A and B are shown apart, each in its own frame.
Chain A
Amino acid sequence: MAFHTWQFGVFLVIVLGVFWLVAAHRNARSSLLLIASYVFYGSWEPWFLLLIVFSTILDYHCARWMVATENPAKRRAALLASLVGNLGLLAYFKYSLWGVELLNPMLGGSEVGASLQRVAWSAVVPVGISFYTFQTLSYTIDVYRGTLKPARNLLDFALFVSFFPQLVAGPIVRASQFLPQLDWTPRFTRERLHDGLYRIATGLMKKALISDTLALYLVDPVHNEPGEWAAWIHVLAIFGFSFQIYFDFSGYTDIAIGTARLFGFDLPENFNSPMQSKSIREFWRRWHTTLSFWVRDYVYFPLGGSKRGELRVVINLILTMVIIGLWHGASVLWLIYGLLQGITMALERWFERLRGGVLFATTPLRKGISWVMTFSFVSFTLLAVRGESFESVYAVLTVFGDETELSIWAWVALAACVLTHFQPEAFYTALKARIIALPTVAHGLFVGLVIGTMVYVMSSSNAFIYFQF
């Protein structure tokens, strides 16, 4: 039940209606949202629910054990149980096949190798497991550190883990951001409703009108038949995919944030015009920020961050980015992706130190050069996402034809990317204020028009790219 399907539309209307009927009763509204979240998640595969329930019960009790004892060893044991349980599930479902393939040269042909292959092949990656695993881990780690009080009851915690607007592709929410909102009176004002609808409509537009159009008319044709297209079209497709994945993922995030708003919840932002970045470090402060900050807080800082000498900083940066790479997927391509990000960030840091701590992008010309370099680096490394295999990436980079005639819709979508992404923040703030002031019926009309256009364009059957992670 993806956000851009009619089934989700019907589901949302029903759940929203019932939610505001029972909104005065804390347990009733939380129970309703939990049931709705489980229905939503179970609509992919009912057995996925077993995993999320397992993670929920494990982490809820681990946190309770931690606060119930003063004994540091017992507290560490509880944390370890949470880490092993969650990361074990993630490792089995997401990384076992890759691991077995890496071991294959050593085990190939043996009975053990064959058994491992059978076990690994039987693992299907459950939708959203990477997202909710990180969410539950942050909870137990924060409780262990003493920076967070445990959830009041299992119901609250289960809802934090499974809240359907952000369950399958984020944003990754911290318990400290979500749990207090369960105690608050659900907020419903005209402005919040308009803001939620505005986010949903813009999210759908980003996904169905821009991202899918780019995929249909530029990225997919080139990746499917690289031998047909001229070299400069390949370059355009590589840049186009950066925008495709950005509009796809940020569109999903917009819908998630907008949907949560309709229920009175606020979710953290995940993007801040990342394609405007002028360095890779800046890019990761603007792109998928809930993941970047998660890894910063729970991996980079505990490793020592930037406080233990230059060599250690380089190692920490590379290790952190490798984890981000492998969080996305289990393959050598993702490993290389993370390595490249980490090495480039270390180089940027080294270059900045050579200049006495002064950034390179100080003049308009230098800012332009920095932007071109950053955007090109981001786009070419994102080939790891789209290419799927070394052969495919190699073909896109080396096999060319002479076809140059792109559909007009490819150009329209590219123009829309540039025009919408590179506007100053003030422009959007002013535009949004004007839109939110419009009558409620106009907001409904806008949503209806967007859905109608989406159906008409008929290019919206592609699943959100980040669902695979």
Chain B
Amino acid sequence: MIEESSLGADLPRKGVVFGLLLKVVVGAVMGLGLADFAAGHYDAARDLRRSGALMLDAELAWAPRPDFVFKNGITRVNSLGLRGPEIPSDAPPTELRILGMGASRTFGSGVAENEKIWSNVLEKLLNFEGIESRVFNGGVNGYSNVQSSRRAIRLTPVLQPDLILLFTSPGAQMLLDETIAGQWAEVGGEPVPRDIVDAVPGLLKPVAARLHRLLLNSSLYARYRARIQADGNRPPGLRRYVYNDRQAPLGGEDMLDTTWREIEALVEHCRAEQIELRAVLMPLAHQTTDKAWVRWIRSARGKGVPPLDMPRREPTAALEAQLKRLGLEVWLLQDELEQIGNDTDRFTFDTRHWTPPGHRIVGTSLLQHLLAETELLERMTAHRQQHPRD
């Protein structure tokens, strides 16, 4: 409603205007403080911030909380944030160690018992074959290849693995929010998200970094940053993006570049540390049957999905070629995932995450790929005999 004219009326005194505005600002700060206080208590009550399965991580955005036991009382994460038991102190110094890095499928979401997931299946099968080995599960829910690669590099000094398996798919794992993609800056010897310090003049960068760290004590700010650093800024047109050679990821080119850069960094790291590295390439759940593929594209048009005429295996083939260009050997689990996709009732919980029989298919397949590369096994065994762990 348009109010009556104030033509000729007196302007209110500046003191009155700014006095009222100041009261608003004071009230707003109090309101924010109250909301932050309530949020902190609510989070604590929900065991999110202080004892949730995941925690904020400056370099990885989020990471598994060490020594965490899930609510079911069965699923355990060890002191290194890996799913499964601790490494025994008397572990043989020459055992073969395999580290699998990936997202929720790799973690084994949906299966409570550690013994029933792919990593344990593979470990048992390898030992049955007479290869003394230990398989670590480094899967983390929602992880992209950028995070998996960074975390693999972080874990290698402690685990001293002989082989790293980077589980990947041509979907969301390829793309991450632009803040992560924009990398981290080092200020005062500590990593700070680049967007925090980039817009600030040089002299003020330490102040901005310190303020950022200070504010991380606030529940609201911590959540805000976690969202920005996780996946909050992915444009809608990329939410159903599938890697392929035909379409550029509109608005997500930087993310894709960062993915390649971080994978290359992992390749270089493994080369320098004499660690073997393989990419385990798995089709997405909706890529496993023609029916699921067409239905998925039809239902998600306009959100970055490939054109309807794209064969469902094309994105996987394109990613395989790209990974090879980056210097990676690739183990393609096409047939295995199609077997799972053709019987989702038996092999999956929710069409995506595997049941124990599904994990057996994956574990068995990985063993076959490993045994097929006899030179790889010989090389790893010989290297470890020459360089036993401390």
Contacts and interface: CB of A to CB of B under 8 A. Distances in A.
A20 B299 contact: no
Interface string A379-414: 000000000110110110001000000000000000
A452 B299 contact: no
Given A177-B2, A266-B2, 18 more contacts: A17-B21, A20-B21, A24-B11, A185-B11, A186-B6, A395-B299, A443-B24, A445-B30, A448-B29, A449-B34, A449-B35, A452-B36, A455-B223, A455-B224, A456-B39, A456-B219, A456-B223, A458-B227
Nearest to B31: A448
Contacts of A27: none
A442 B24 CA distance: 8
B158 interface: no
A43 interface: no
Contact of A449 (B20, B25, B31): B31
A392 B301 contact: yes
A448 B6 contact: no
B10 A185 contact: yes
A225 B301 CA distance: 11
A442 B233 contact: no
Given A177-B2, A448-B28, A448-B32, A455 B7 contact: no
A447 B31 contact: yes
A24 B31 CA distance: 32
A266 B2 CA distance: 5
Contacts of A455: 35, 220, 223-224
B28 A444 contact: yes
B39 A452 contact: yes
Contact of A451 (B11, B31, B219, B298): B31
Interface stretch (A65-73, A187-195, A357-365): A187-195
Interface size class of A (residues with CB under 8 A): 35 or more
Interface string A252-277: 00000000000010101100000000
A441 interface: yes
Interface string A165-198: 0000000000001001101111111100100010
B23 A441 contact: yes
Interface size class of B (residues with CB under 8 A): 35 or more
Contact of B27 (A183, A185, A441): A441
A224 interface: yes
B18 interface: yes
Interface string A426-469: 00000000000001111111111111110110100100000000
Interface in B271-314: 295-296, 298-303
7 contacts: A20-B14, A185-B7, A268-B2, A399-B299, A440-B23, A445-B34, A452-B32
| Residue from the set B18, B31, B303 with the largest chain A CB neighbour count within 10 Å | B31
Interface in B325-373: none
Interface in B67-109: none
Nearest to A224: B300
B27 A193 contact: no
Contact of A180 (B1, B5, B240, B299): B5
B20 A452 contact: no
A180 B21 CA distance: 26
A399 B295 contact: yes
A191 B183 CA distance: 48
A336 interface: no
B251 interface: no
B211 to A, nearest CB: 14
Contacts of B223: 455-456, 458
Given A441-B23, A453-B35, A458-B227, A184 B5 contact: yes
Nearest to B9: A185
B45 interface: no
B31 A227 contact: no
Interface in A254-303: 264, 266, 268-269
B333 to A, nearest CB: 23
A16 interface: yes
A268 B3 CA distance: 10
Given A389-B301, A445-B27, A452 B21 contact: no
Interface in B10-54: 10-12, 14, 16-18, 20-21, 23-36, 38-39
Contacts of A119: none
Nearest to A197: B24
Interface of B: 1-3, 5-12, 14, 16-18, 20-21, 23-36, 38-39, 219-220, 223-224, 227, 232-233, 239-240, 295-296, 298-303
A23 interface: yes
A240 interface: no
B297 to A, nearest CB: 9
Nearest to A393: B301
Sorted from nearest, which 8 A-B pairs have the closest CB atoms?
A448-B31, A444-B27, A452-B35, A448-B28, A444-B24, A441-B27, A449-B31, A388-B302
Contacts, number: 155
A458 B231 CA distance: 11
A442 B11 contact: no
Contact of B30 (A13, A193, A441): A441
Given A448-B31, A455-B223, A16 B10 contact: no
Contact of A448 (B5, B8, B35, B296): B35
A186 B220 contact: no
B349 to A, nearest CB: 13
A21 interface: yes
A10 B139 CA distance: 40
Given A187-B9, A266-B2, A445-B30, A226 B35 contact: no
A445 B24 CA distance: 7
Contacts of B8: 185
Interface string A77-106: 000000000000000000000000000000
Given A20-B18, A185-B6, A392 B232 contact: no
A266 B1 contact: yes
Contacts of A180: 5
A455 B18 CA distance: 27
Contacts of B295: 227, 399
A268 B240 CA distance: 40
Contact of B232 (A224, A399, A461): A461
A397 to B, nearest CB: 12
Nearest to A177: B2
Interface string A186-224: 111110010001000000000000000000000000001
A23 B26 contact: no
A425 to B, nearest CB: 13
B25 to A, nearest CB: 6
A440 B20 contact: yes
Contacts of B12: 188-189
Contacts of A225: 296, 299-300
B20 A190 contact: yes
B2 to A, nearest CB: 5
A440 B3 contact: no
Contacts of A189: 12
Contacts of A388: 301-302
Nearest to B295: A227
B35 A456 contact: yes
Contacts of A184: 5-7, 9
B34 A193 contact: no
Nearest to B226: A458
A445 B31 CA distance: 4
B9 A448 contact: no
A452 B39 CA distance: 9
B20 to A, nearest CB: 5
A444 B14 CA distance: 19
